[in-house]
Structure 1
Amino acid sequence: MDAAVIGKAPSTPLGEPGRAVRARELISYEPATGAEMWRGEAADVDEAVERARRAWPAWAAQPLSTRMELLRRFANEVRKDADKLAATIAREVGKPLWEARAEVDSVIAKVEVSIRSYAERTAQRKLDSALQGVMAVRHKPHGVIVVLGPFNYPAHLPNAHIVPALIAGNAVIFKPSEHAPASGEMLARCFHRAGISAAIMQCAPGGPDTGAALVGHEGIDGVLFTGSATNGIAINRRLAGRPDRLVALEMGGNNAMVVWDTPKLTDAAAIIVQSAFATAGQRCTAARRLIVKDSMYDAILGEVKALTERLVCGGPFDEPAPFMGPVIHNRAADGLTESFVYLLSNGGKAIKHLVRADEALPFLSPAIIDVTAMAQRPDVELFGPILQVIRVSDFDEAIAQANATRYGLAASLVGGTPQEYNRFWANVRAGILNWNRPTIGPSHAAPMGGVGLSGNHRPTGFYAADYCAYPVASGEMEQPRAVIGVGLK
């Protein structure tokens, strides 16, 4: 997820600029109020890695059934603390309470999905080869795994790495986003209360320096990352000379939604608005670009604008509940505002302006801008509530525009025929392709990942088991049996 500002250098590698007070002190602030949320010390990376390395062999030696049972206990601990965890997430990252509660539900659901995934994706197999004995396939954990979490889903997205990694027998060092350490610590305590030791599942808060130290530490065996392409590329470069290190990158997207012939204008508008503006546009799968057939343009944009103007933007606990909250901090709000001005100044035509009601807080209204006339459209992930619209005349042009990005996470076709969807599916480059569904909200039972700058072909979701353990092929016989049949004197 990249809170990029068009025309400016990207943020600090391995994290957004933190708000460090002293060298090791970290403070988290509530986006909706600016109040201090959490204060603590950055983790000692060497100590965390040493603890994990000492504890890992015993954890890996536990029966798989034991590890699975402990993860089920973890799910029960989250259930007990569900309201408190949801309130913490809502306060710390600004999302509405209803959305934070849905995130906690996803944390709980991930356990059974991961158990089913591990059984399906890493099942033990034995092939009897008669005189050649048995060929067995089993899986081993990697060792000590670093999980780097994002701020937008501070519990669910890191949990989507942590749970499969623990089931497979790895030790985990989890660095939450520097903007969500309180949520990360609360999640970690649920693991500990379930009986998973604080050495096997560690929470290591800190800023970009802590993340960089973990990635480059000699004592780790892999990095599981969710975040911006800028930071993912930095991790990939850092470990390019270490093929022994597992690297799984789940990054963002400049995602496209194509609107074609459909009589269901109200439904189409709801899908577009959900995709573009849920979580204040701070989802890696959010629709950033709306590609519309000429003949549909006026009708669909009229519906989308009317619906967008009805959206309530407010604090997490406001009544009635808002549709979306603030973006994560004032720097993000400043950057998004600058980016909207850049688009306007370079050929964009505002359909709905980006409005910031209070300069002291990062609340932004949803914005829509037609960029069809722009000679060069910046291919960046604007991580906030800005939807760019492009008019096209035919379906081939729509597919070409959808592919006009270095990213490849999610894309949706709204409307169209089954034949057109088949063409869309076959020709658009993305790891998630939907028809008459939002770009957001991928299924727990499906893989989650993309191509290009959106990932490195190690999708999370249901396929997380694939990278949390490695397959070992074994030829086995109970007694040695061999002869040399040729080449002897």
Structure 2
Amino acid sequence: MTMLQSLDPATGEVVWEGEEADAGVVHSALARARRAFPGWAALPNDRRVAHVQAFKAALEERREGLATVISRETGKPLWETRGEVASMIGKVAISIAAQAERAGERRNAMPFGEAVLRHRPHGVMAVLGPFNFPGHLPNGHNVPALLAGNTIVFKPSELTPATGAAMAECWAEAGLPDGVFQVVQGGRSTGEALVAGEIDGLLFTGSAGAGAHFRRLFADRPHVILALELGGNNPLVAWDGDVEETASIVVQSSFVTTGQRCSCARRLIVPDDAFGRDLVEAVDSLARRVIIGRWNDEPQPYIGPLISPAAAAAAKVRADELVARGARELRSFKVLDCMGPAFVRPAILDVTGVDVPDDEIFAPIVQVTRVPDFDAALAAANATRFGLSAGLVSGDDALWQRFVLESRAGVVNRNRPTTGAAGSMPFGGLGESGNHRPSAYYAADYCAYPMASFEAAHADGNAAALAGMLTP
């Protein structure tokens, strides 16, 4: 028996402890999900909707407790985890609307009867959740997948099992039939057993490296639908405007959630002029004022610790590597041992003219590149193998039209943080940031496949179509 623990990254206290699911447990869960699938898929849509609405009611009843659990496991401040739970609640209505719009039923009259479009569920879905939004992001897979008629085996991140367990309790309160939604807790070996099992879909949120692994792994399993929501080395071009407002957008884009959002701005591209110099100084000044603290501190901090001491140590190595390549430290990256080994200080590194890796560093580190003109800014923004989010800060409509036309990213914002995204829109990226199956409002697309039918109540007129074209 292998035991799994999650720890509060701010204090090191044990938040959750339980047994890790081995391959036998995983395969048993998949078998239960397979048995449950036909009945759940055959259930009328309004009854599935009723179960999902009951899940929403359970979330609302547990709102504060769930926010506390997420904060304790991730270290995120309560203001942020309360927002995460609110997004989970809001996801239900959005998913119901998306299911009706993008994966509902359509009928068109034909001379012989009807052309009918239906959408059918894939079957048993494996959902692998991330640690940074352990409630909201897997919820964005789970709700639409269940609405479509799939059954689910969900493995939360091994760093946030308590959040996964709390979500399972809410689904249990929703009265789902046995086997429709199950949670298996564990680390790498549990995940490997799950993706190796008899599944019809893998819905994954995580790193680009893991996404590339899954692409290779499922190359010979074309019946398995893959929906990969991955990371990014996201650019923010800050070109003109009010320096204070622009600096606020930079700080929110780069340092929110301690830099642990896949849509965070990793690269700040500025003009090599007085505005660019003033802006970088303002970002540095604002970063020094950002409150760092524990999730339940008062006043509330803007950022908490990274997910673990190991994550902080790894980020420090990455920052040091950039400096060794020639990056100039405008604000150095530090592990704040006085607060705890997972707490870090946000960094601003000038990498102008430096050959740096095109990688996502999942920490509050922003790399500044100074360019001579807007053509160079666009080229720098697109110089990445990723394509999740991008942003432009400018009051110039013509520049925005160029930017939105030429940007290679799935989320492109203007005068707003790169991390802003609406649940009523698709969310996903290009290149190493995904596999062209965006989530959020478009999750309905990968949770069901279209079935087109010609239908007539009686077999009339078919023989007449052959008249004169048959031998006597």
TM-score, structure 2 normalization: 0.97
Where do residues 386-397 of structure 1 align in structure 2 (5 Å cutoff)? 386-397=365-376
Instruction: State the secondary structure of the residue aligned to 1:338.
Output: helix
Q: Within the alignment, does 1:274 sit opposite 2:252 as a pair?
A: yes
The 1-side partners of 2:432 and 2:44 are apart by 38
Pick one of 15, 22, 38 that aligns with 1:37: 15
Would you say the 8 A contact 1:265–1:300 is kept in 2? yes
Pick one of 83, 100, 121 that aligns with 1:102: 83
The aligned counterpart of 1:461 is 440
The 2-side partners of 1:453 and 1:475 are apart by 39
Q: Deviations over 1:335-371 (max 9, x none)?
A: 1101111111111001111121218521001110000
The aligned counterpart of 1:488 is 470
The 1-side partners of 2:367 and 2:467 are apart by 71
Q: Deviations over 1:422-453 (max 9, x none)?
A: 11111110000011011003101000000000
The aligned counterpart of 1:5 is none
The aligned counterpart of 1:18 is none
The 1-side partners of 2:220 and 2:147 are apart by 28
The 2-side partners of 1:198 and 1:177 are apart by 23
| CA apart distance, 1:261 | 2.0
The 2-side partners of 1:120 and 1:357 are apart by 49
Instruction: State the secondary structure of the residue aligned to 1:174.
Output: strand
Q: Once superposed, what is the RMSD of the aligned Cα atoms?
A: 1.1
The aligned counterpart of 2:56 is 75
Instruction: State the secondary structure of the residue aligned to 1:441.
Output: coil
Q: Within the alignment, does 1:28 sit opposite 2:10 as a pair?
A: no
The 2-side partners of 1:414 and 1:30 are apart by 36
The 2-side partners of 1:297 and 1:130 are apart by 66
Q: Within the alignment, does 1:356 sit opposite 2:356 as a pair?
A: no
Instruction: State the secondary structure of the residue aligned to 1:381.
Output: coil
Where do residues 239-388 of structure 1 align in structure 2 (5 Å cutoff)? 239-262=218-241, 264-295=242-273, 296-358=275-337, 361-374=341-354, 376-388=355-367
The aligned counterpart of 2:40 is 59
The 1-side partners of 2:46 and 2:394 are apart by 46
The aligned counterpart of 1:163 is 143
Instruction: State the secondary structure of the residue aligned to 1:326.
Output: coil
Would you say the 8 A contact 1:216–1:238 is kept in 2? no
Would you say the 8 A contact 1:107–1:155 is kept in 2? yes
The 2-side partners of 1:441 and 1:260 are apart by 19
The 1-side partners of 2:174 and 2:16 are apart by 24
Instruction: State the secondary structure of the residue aligned to 2:15.
Output: strand
| CA apart distance, 1:72 | 0.9
Would you say the 8 A contact 2:158–2:187 is kept in 1? yes
Pick one of 169, 174, 198 that aligns with 2:154: 174
Q: Within the alignment, does 1:439 sit opposite 2:421 as a pair?
A: no
The 2-side partners of 1:123 and 1:170 are apart by 15
Q: Within the alignment, does 1:114 sit opposite 2:113 as a pair?
A: no
The 1-side partners of 2:358 and 2:257 are apart by 21
Would you say the 8 A contact 1:327–1:333 is kept in 2? yes
The 1-side partners of 2:404 and 2:185 are apart by 41
Where do residues 80-91 of structure 1 align in structure 2 (5 Å cutoff)? 80-91=61-72
Q: Please, which runs of 5 or more residues in structure 2 have no aligned partner? A: none
The 2-side partners of 1:196 and 1:410 are apart by 36
Would you say the 8 A contact 2:36–2:178 is kept in 1? no
| CA apart distance, 1:416 | 4.3
Instruction: State the secondary structure of the residue aligned to 2:345.
Output: coil
Matching residue's letter, 1:38:
W
| CA apart distance, 1:209 | 1.1
| CA apart distance, 1:461 | 0.5
The 1-side partners of 2:131 and 2:467 are apart by 64
| CA apart distance, 1:197 | 3.5
Matching residue's letter, 1:311:
V
Q: Deviations over 1:387-415 (max 9, x none)?
A: 00000011111011001110000000001
Instruction: State the secondary structure of the residue aligned to 1:109.
Output: helix
TM-score, structure 1 normalization: 0.93
Would you say the 8 A contact 1:250–1:454 is kept in 2? yes
Instruction: State the secondary structure of the residue aligned to 2:442.
Output: helix
The 1-side partners of 2:268 and 2:124 are apart by 42
The aligned counterpart of 2:176 is 196
Instruction: State the secondary structure of the residue aligned to 1:37.
Output: strand
Would you say the 8 A contact 1:34–1:361 is kept in 2? no
The 2-side partners of 1:429 and 1:98 are apart by 32
Identity of aligned residues (%): 47
Would you say the 8 A contact 2:313–2:335 is kept in 1? no
Matching residue's letter, 2:470:
L
The 2-side partners of 1:401 and 1:346 are apart by 18
Q: Deviations over 1:37-67 (max 9, x none)?
A: 1111122111110111111111111110111
Runs of 4 or more above 2 Å deviation: none
Q: Within the alignment, does 1:220 sit opposite 2:206 as a pair?
A: no
Matching residue's letter, 2:412:
L
| CA apart distance, 1:486 | 4.7
The 1-side partners of 2:266 and 2:168 are apart by 33
The 2-side partners of 1:80 and 1:234 are apart by 39
Where do residues 148-159 of structure 1 align in structure 2 (5 Å cutoff)? 148-159=128-139
The aligned counterpart of 1:92 is 73
| CA apart distance, 1:210 | 1.0
